[in-house]
Amino acid sequence: MLSINQDIFEIIQAKFSSSEVVRCIHLNVSLFTELSNEEYRILALVTKKSNSALFLFFCKKPNPIHLSDLFIETVIPIDENFECFSDTILGEDKYLLFIVKYRNFILEFRIKTGLESSNFASEIIKCKERSLYENCDHRWLFKYSDVKSPLDCTENKSQSPDIPFVRQNMAQNQNAINRESMLKYQLKLKEPEFTQYQEFTIFTGTWNVNGQLPSISLKPWLSCDTEPPDLYAVGFQEIDLSKEAFLFNDTPREAEWEKMVLEGVHPNAKYRTVALTRLVGIQLIVLINIKHYQHIKNVAVDTVGTGLLGKMGNKGGVAVRLDLHNTSLCFVNSHLAAHVEEFERRNQDYKDINARINFRRHPTAIKDHDQIYWLGDLNYRITELTTSQVKTLLLRNEMATLLKADQLNQQKERGNVLLDYNELDITFPPTYKYDLNSDTFDTSEKARPPAWTDRILYRGKGIYQQKYRSHMELRISDHKPVSALFKSEISVINQAKYRKVHEELLKRMDKLENEFLPQVTVDQTEIKFDLVRFREPQFRDIIIANTGQVPAEFEFIKKLDEQSYCKEWLRITPYCGTVNPGEKCDIRLEVNLETDLVELDDILVLHLNGGKDMFIIVTGKGQRSSFTTSMRALCRMSKPIMTLDDEQYRKIIALDGEVLYSVPRELWLLVDHLYTHGLTVKDLFESNSTQDSFIRLRDWLDFGSTEPISVSVETVAETLLIFLSYTKEPVIPSNLQNVAIAASSNYHNCKNIINEKLPDIHRNVFLYICMFLQELLRHSSENGYDAKTLASLFGEILLRDPIRNSKPQASRGKSNFIYNFLVNDLSTSIIPIK
Amino acid sequence: MSGGPYNYSYIFKYIIIGDMGVGKSCLLHQFTEKKFMADCPHTIGVEFGTRIIDVCGQKIKLQIWDTAGQERFRAVTRSYYRGAAGALMVYDITRRSTYNHLSSWLTDTRNLTNPSTVIFLIGNKCDLEAQRDVTYEEASKFAEENGLMFVEASAKTGDNVEEAFLETAKKIYQSIQDGRLDLNAAESGVQHKPSTPGRNNLSSDNQGSKDNCSC
């Protein structure tokens, strides 16, 4: 149990940078609210300098074996806001409730009572106490939260974290991993384009040394070939049969045998140890010719015991994996169960080794390697033949008969062991069992039948076994050493070609990414409106078509320093939305001109979320209208505004010219019509006339006509309201409105404002309207209006707010002001209209 | 091997600015697609392109905003300067007017970006030597006086295009290394990509310790 803990501890530490130290972990944590047992969590207490935090990991497996099995789910800083306590769970004594609080954020865990939990809790409490005396700086945690950039962090910092960071960007990161694996996959597919095979000589040897001291040179075994190999994998079994070695897995022999190997290797090359691994007496050393050393990467070792209780190290396997250039190699040295009849046990040992070796530092299984070399004392015997029969057959050199009786060959044929592994035909005599220091088979009482216990097999592409032999002259053990020499094809990367392929793939992926940016086209980017007339809306539709491969979220966005995404005379519907690939969306642009603007001009920014921006230019010409022209100019017009030529118009607008009328002609025409036809009409101002009739009347006024007014009197009344609502300046100018409202309780003061402060034409218009309203009130029995109603209706208009659409203010004051002029006699007290 | 072949550690934001028709979009296209886009339509808006590059062994993702050059859009495109780590300022060596406007583009850039923004001057269309209207020496002097990096490039042949984008990134990366560019400052135009799960943090730490790269 302890060793599993240690492994997981290391994996968790690997999740952090070296300055972030995992102090302790707690396995098998479940959220109290979670009923399912399918989810596994781990708590880890991590410190960086004087700051600590509690990390909750979500694991894919009960016992994670790789970094990618763990995700950080929640990070809880430990500072003065942090609290933790435990509680009992009703009806359970083996588990307790562990509660972690950070301000309003609470997590409840169910954990096993015991040493692990009490140690863990006390570590947390120590950190919490320390946090009270230190300045807490949680910036290091930001990278574990779902904040994407440090820019956002600065904001967080100023507020200090309100709740612990809950990680939400898992999916996003998943995406990055997928991309990563896609690139790896693509690179693998393209491997032939940037790799070439190079032949490497690999020497593998195995020797069960029967606990003997390393007292003789290994040269006859390791240096028996003329050319030095590129790589050695040398396995021993039973290097130490002592109890100490068995119990403590520690032996001085390890270094001694390594030394003998290094001394025994081929003299024509220099070698360096790549890896050495040992389980009790099973030892494996991998050496590389130093000229290749730099091309070795990702070296990892692992050991698996299959002996006593199925896990002790007296039997089992050790393995070394490495990448040589671009080929992954795995060497396994195994010592399988002994005794003639135990072949099934041996098969099982083999399976266990395969299942349990996973090279934690570089998580892979044996089978995942391009080339596997399996050597060792596999302990398979010769069956169905007596010792003397074997010896006789050997003398007659009837190898075929003997090999048929070999258990390994039999089991392998049945698919029970070392499936898909190859072995060159054995031509050497059995390597077991000899009398020590002799070449004589066992002469003891037991007289065991000789057997090929020591074997070397291989699996993978491009491996060509050159030699397979035993070395009789090494006599110290009851086994003879065996060696196999291979010519193996190693895939070597041509760096220049690799860079090219890699770069091209990256480029393709960049391109892909660019293609996966949202893409839309807009059918027109310049919208020209025809002549835009006062309160006569026009619209144009544009079509946004998604031509990309992902849904496009669009939105019209504000430009720098602007209030809205478009000018006030424009409306965009909808101004945001989503268009799916291949689909279209109609956007309506509607202009409605309510000012004297002549040049309509706007640039709309159509923004695609995560993509480009498009500009859409909207232009148009506003048509002049009496409704938006200043009253002072209107009083200078001798004829309808549209009948003026440009020069005349320009002059008048510049107030160059004589004042011809005391009130605008258009106003007089409207009021006069109402005076004649409207005084007795009920609810005169309350009908909603059609847009069409308003436009007819507007044009009748602006263009002039010899025809009489052809619209209803209600339309005329509404048009009067519109006229007064859009005059370039309110009738009571904005700067006087507050004064007027303040004076509204006193008629005398009100009168003074009108008489002394108002520009002439405004005063004329004001009094003209009030006199008309008084006339209207004389017919109140027929039209139903009273002074208060009219005062409030016209107060809103004559003292209209300078900014349209803003909230009407102090309307009571406005209507009170007007009211004064509806109930008092104007003819005597007011300067007469000029 | 650390970090894998696709991960990136930083995101740099670039903008490309300059008069209409100087070849901004073609430079971007040449850089991201390695192709010359003949008959490239005027950019009406702001195009967006991305590419991952390698600077001193660090993978950096460039986010490039290619702005419309038309004068009428000038007020709108100003919104895009903010937060750029690099600004590629482009003129056309065959049209002096585009060169003459540089000082106004430069003023905008200086006003709207932060002091650590790297400004790179590109004299585009250097393949059209016969129609040259601005000498290399003159532009080079302008660049020097204003502390800009400078090359003449051709979006058509691809000459110096890669260099301009990469040199800018190197300069930005250097600023980060020197601490001149504060990643935490708002609008630095640089984002640090958090590492993805499944990636060995230890190995990336090793990377960090050998920062004294040769660029």
Q: Domain A520-622's class?
A: mainly beta
Instruction: List the alpha helices (DSSP H) in A160-225.
Output: 170-189, 191-194, 219-222
CB A331 within 8 A of CB A291: no
Instruction: List the alpha helices (DSSP H) in A86-169.
Output: 115-133, 150-159
CB B21 within 8 A of CB B42: yes
Asked if B192 lies within 8 A of A154 by C-beta distance, the reply is no
Which chain B residues are within 8 Å of A70, Cβ to Cβ? 197
Model pLDDT, residue A362: 82
Asked if A509 lies within 8 A of B7 by C-beta distance, the reply is no
A-B Cβ pairs (cutoff 8 Å, strict): 126
Domain B10-194 sits in which CATH superfamily? P-loop containing nucleotide triphosphate hydrolases (3.40.50.300)
How far does the CA of residue A131 sit from the closest CA of chain B (Å)? 25
Per CATH, which fold does A2-168 belong to? Answer: PH-domain like (2.30.29)
Domain range summary for chain A, segments of one domain joined by +? 2-168, 197-493, 520-622, 627-829
How far does the CA of residue A330 sit from the closest CA of chain B (Å)? 20
Across A3-143, the runs of DSSP E, i.e. the strands, are 20-31, 40-48, 51-59, 70-78, 82-89, 92-102, 105-112
What is the DSSP annotation of A475-491?
A: -SSSB--EEEEEEEEEE
Of A113-117, A205-209, A468-472, A826-830, the one with minimum mean pLDDT is A826-830
Residues 144-203 of A with CB under 8 A from B: 144, 148-151, 153-154, 170, 173, 176-177, 179-180, 182-184, 187
Buried/exposed A618-647: b ≥16 CB within 10 Å, e otherwise: bebebbbbbbbbbbbbbbbbeebbeebeee
How far does the CA of residue B141 sit from the closest CA of chain A (Å)? 33
Asked if A148 lies within 8 A of B194 by C-beta distance, the reply is yes
Other CB atoms within 10 A of residue A255 CB = 11
Domain range summary for chain B, segments of one domain joined by +? 10-194
Of A132-146, A451-465, A582-596, A744-758, the one with minimum mean pLDDT is A132-146
Which chain A residues are within 8 Å of B5, Cβ to Cβ? 180, 183-184, 187, 502, 506
Asked if B44 lies within 8 A of A17 by C-beta distance, the reply is no
Instruction: Give the pLDDT mean for A28-40.
Output: 68
Question: In this predicted model, what pLDDT tens digit does every residue of B92-130 receive, in sequence order?
Answer: 999 999 999 999 999 999 999 988 899 999 999 999 999
Question: In this predicted model, what pLDDT tens digit does every residue of A383-414 receive, in sequence order?
Answer: 888 899 999 999 999 999 999 999 999 999 99
Domain A197-493 sits in which CATH superfamily? Endonuclease/exonuclease/phosphatase (3.60.10.10)
Per CATH, which fold does A627-829 belong to? Answer: Phosphatidylinositol 3-kinase; Chain A (1.10.555)
CB A121 within 8 A of CB A84: yes
pLDDT more than 90, % of chain A: 52
Which chain B residue has the Cα nearest residue A167?
B197
How far does the CA of residue A170 sit from the closest CA of chain B (Å)? 9
Which chain A residue has the Cα nearest residue B64?
A612
Asked if A510 lies within 8 A of B72 by C-beta distance, the reply is no
Question: In this predicted model, what pLDDT tens digit does every residue of A126-162 receive, in sequence order?
Answer: 888 887 777 777 777 766 655 333 333 333 333 333 3
Higher pLDDT, A278 or B58: A278
Higher pLDDT, A407 or B58: A407
Q: Under DSSP, is residue A91 helix (H, G, I), strand (E, B) or coil?
A: coil
Of A250-264, A629-643, B49-63, the one with minimum mean pLDDT is B49-63
Question: In this predicted model, what pLDDT tens digit does every residue of A591-600 receive, in sequence order?
Answer: 999 888 999 9
CA distance B17 to B90: 6
How far does the CA of residue A510 sit from the closest CA of chain B (Å)? 5
Instruction: Give the pLDDT mean for A544-563.
Output: 88
Higher pLDDT, A698 or A58: A698
Question: In this predicted model, what pLDDT tens digit does every residue of A62-83 receive, in sequence order?
Answer: 777 777 777 777 888 888 888 8
- Mutation pick from A46, A180, A326 vs chain B, by most beta carbons of B within 10 Å, is A180
Among the partner-chain residues B5, B76, B201, the one whose CB lies closest to the CB of A605 is B76
Question: In this predicted model, what pLDDT tens digit does every residue of A290-301 receive, in sequence order?
Answer: 999 999 999 999
